[in-house]
Structures are given as structure tokens and as C-alpha cells.
Amino acid sequence: MKITVIGAGRVGSSVALNCSLRELGDVMLLDIVEGLPQGEAMDINHQLAERGIDFTVSGSNNYEDMKGSEFVVVVAGVSRKPGMTRMDLLKTNADIVKGVCNKIKAFAHDSKIVVVTNPLDPLTYLVIKSLQGQRNKIMGMGGMLDLSRFKEHISTVTRISRESIQAMVISEHGENMLPLVRFSSMGGIPLSEFITPEQSEDLATKTKKIAAEVISLKGATVYAPGNAVSTMVESIVKNKRTILPVSALLEGEYGYSDVCIGVPCVLGNEGIEKIIELKLNENELEVFDLGIQSVKSAIRSFSL
């Protein structure tokens, strides 16, 4: 198994490290900055050597070195800065991702692709359309990252082990994300048994705002995105068929088509093997639709 990560900054390097620690395959870190991917690869390999892990990380500035990749993780792009929304990055990162797609076409057109670059949902759509790819093979990471943040807030409020938490976050990876208290549980017991309605609202609000807080404090979110991507890749590589929230192209599911949005999916050998349609209530449908309209508006703003 060869996994190529395009973008060797902090997030890309975190993806490489997490995939290596899970022993999912050899990783190729690619970046246009000379020396950066090579240096990150060396640093990661030193950790892997001490842990006795025999998969290796390589660094390169040559896109041709991605040949033979079963997975490509797209992290390349400018990062969100304090005070910015994810949508503020759209024009610049759309141009960068288009260029990356040309390289994938040339050297790794059969690979499965995980998109990490923000704004994630419209750029996942851009990758699918640019590569004319099958929707099961191209997905975005957003929901998995939002889920990790939601779980942390649930654990903090309930003071119950994180290991007991099952949760779900759908819709846009952005201002209209939808943490689903109604579909979350603690040890199989509905989450609503542990929290008040006021705490439920607070959990959703904090989950939406926490990324901006992390960025204001340290400049970027790094470790949780790396783990989120590696969880997705692991479910596919090992055919675990785990249900995870990822950005997927809808073709009639939830009543929408031709848009990418976060939904629960079964991830196995074929990539997205099934999109699960939840029976959302009126309030949940309203937020979900806001996410859909936001992503569609973004999609209309760039040319394919």
C-alpha cells in the first residue's frame, strides 16, 4: 500500500505520521517547497524506527514520485488564519487544487482520494468533477474532524470516558455543521439521558466554534485532522466497513443531487460503499439545507 500526501506542512505531516503509526502502508510526502517533505520524512522515520514500525515515509518535490499510489490525500493549499472563515480560502485554494488534480490525472488516476484542503465540501466536489471520478473513490475529511471535536465536548460535559461515546456530525464542514445529539449515545444509552436541552445547544455551538479558537491560539489545527484522515484510510485499507461521517457526492440521497456534503458513510475496500440516509427532524433538516445551499453557492463561484 502506497499513500501519497500532497502538502507536507503541519497537517500533511500529521497525516503521514498517523497513517504510519497505524501501519497502513508506505507514505510519500510531496511538496513544492524544497527540503520540507524530505526533512519531515526523516523526522517521522526516526520515530517509526524506535517503535519498530517497518513502513517508511519518503519526501519528494517531484509529482512523478506519486506513481503507484493507492491513496492520495490532498492537503495542499493556504491555511485558515485567525478571523477567516473556511469559505474565505475558496478562490486561492480552488486554483491550487485544480493544479493538483492535473498531477493526479497524470500520475495516480486510479487512486482513492481524500480531500483535506478547505473549504472542504466545495473542493471535494471540484476534485470529483475535475477528475471525472467515481464518487465512491473521492471523499472529503470534514465530518470526521468535526466528530472528534464533538466527542471531546461530550466527554467534558458528561465527565464520562471518551471510550463510551458514539456520536455523529453531518452537513457542511463549516458554519452550518450539524452535531446530532439525537443520534449520539454513551455506552448505548441516548446522549439525551445525560445532558439537558440547554447543554445540547451549547455542545452544538462549541463544536462549530472550536476550530476558530484553536487557530487563534496556535495558528492551525494539526493533530486531529491527521488522525481523522488516517481513520478513514484505515477503514478502507482494512475493509473494516466502519460508519464514518465524510463529505460525499449526493445523487438523490437526502433529496439533493450534484453537491458534496458531510453524511454518514460505510467505508470499505471500494471506498464509500454506502451512504446512510438518516431520518432527520424538521430542525435538523433546516440546518442541513443551510449547509447544502452554502456549498452550492461556493460551487457556483468557481469554474470547472
Cβ partners under 8 Å of residue 127, min gap 6: 74, 97, 101, 113, 115, 133, 138
Half-sphere exposure of 224 (CA within 13 A, CB side): 17
**98, three cell numbers:** 485544480
Cis-peptide into 119, omega within 30 deg = yes
Amino acid at 11: V
Task: Select which of 46, 109, 153, 173 is catalytic.
Answer: 173
> What distances in angstroms separate CA 185 from CA 142, 164, 166, 201, 227, one per listed residue?
21, 8, 5, 16, 22
**Do 6 and 22 form a contact (C-beta atoms < 8 A)?**
no
Give every CB contact of residue 66 below 8 A, 6+ residues apart in sequence: 4, 6, 28, 30, 72, 103, 104, 107, 108
* Known catalytic membership, residue 109: no
Residues forming a β-bridge with 273: none
Classify residue 172 as left (phi > 0), alpha (psi -120 to 50) or beta.
beta
Contact residues for 67 (Cβ-Cβ < 8 A; gap 6+): 107, 108
Query: Where are the extended beta strands (E) located within the chain?
Result: 2-6, 26-30, 57-60, 71-74, 112-115, 138-140, 165-166, 169-171, 177-179, 185-186, 189-190, 242-251, 257-268, 271-275
Active site residues: 173
